[in-house]
Amino acid sequence: MQKKRIGILTSGGDCPGLNAVIRGVVKAADKLHWEVIGFIDGFEGLLPPGDYRILDRPSTTHIMPMGGTIIGTTNKGHFVSKVGEGNKTMVAPEIVEKARSLLEKLRIEGLIVVGGDGSLTTALQLFEAGFPIVGVPKTIDNDLEATAMTFGFDSAVAAVVDALDRLQTTAASHKRVMVLEVMGRHAGWIALYGGLAGGANAILVPEIPFSYDKLCEVIKIRDYAGAHATLVVVAEGAVPIGGQEMYQQKSNTGESRLGGIGDVVAREIALRTGKETRTCVLGHLQRGGAPTTLDRILGTRFGVSAVQLIEDNKFGQMVSYQNYQVTGVPIADAVNRLRRVTPESQMVATARAMDICFGD
Catalytic residue among 141, 143, 154, 295: 141
Q: At 248, phi and psi to the nearest 5?
A: -75, -35
**Residue 49: is the preceding peptide bond cis (ω within 30°)?**
yes
- Angle between helix 153-174 and 189-197 (nearest 10): 50
Task: Tell me the pTM.
Answer: 0.91
Radius of gyration of the chain (CA): 22
Cα separations in angstroms, 319 against 26, 91, 212: 16, 23, 41
Q: Which amino acid is located at 331 in the chain? A: I
**302, 320 contact by CB (below 8 A):** no
Domain with CATH 3.40.50.460 in the chain: 156-287
CATH level 2 (architecture), domain 156-287? 3-Layer(aba) Sandwich (3.40)
Residue 141 designated active-site: yes
CATH 3.40.50.450, the chain: domain bounds: 5-151+291-333
Please give the angle made by the CA atoms of 44, 47 and 51, to the nearest 5 degrees.
70
Considering the domain 5-151+291-333 in this protein, what is its CATH number? 3.40.50.450
- H/E stretch holding 15: none
User: Rounded distance, CA 228 to CA 30, Å?
Assistant: 58
Q: Are strands 35-39 and 317-322 parallel, antiparallel or unpaired?
A: unpaired
Backbone torsions φ then ψ of 305, nearest 5 degrees: -65, -35
Residue by residue, pLDDT tens for the chain (360 residues) are 688 999 999 998 899 999 999 999 999 999 999 999 999 999 999 999 999 999 999 999 999 999 999 999 988 888 876 555 555 678 899 999 999 999 999 999 999 999 988 899 999 999 999 999 999 999 899 998 899 999 999 999 999 999 999 999 999 999 999 999 999 988 999 999 999 999 999 999 999 999 999 999 999 999 999 999 999 999 999 999 998 887 776 655 556 677 789 999 999 999 999 999 999 999 889 998 999 999 999 999 999 999 999 999 999 999 999 999 999 999 998 887 889 999 999 999 999 999 999 999
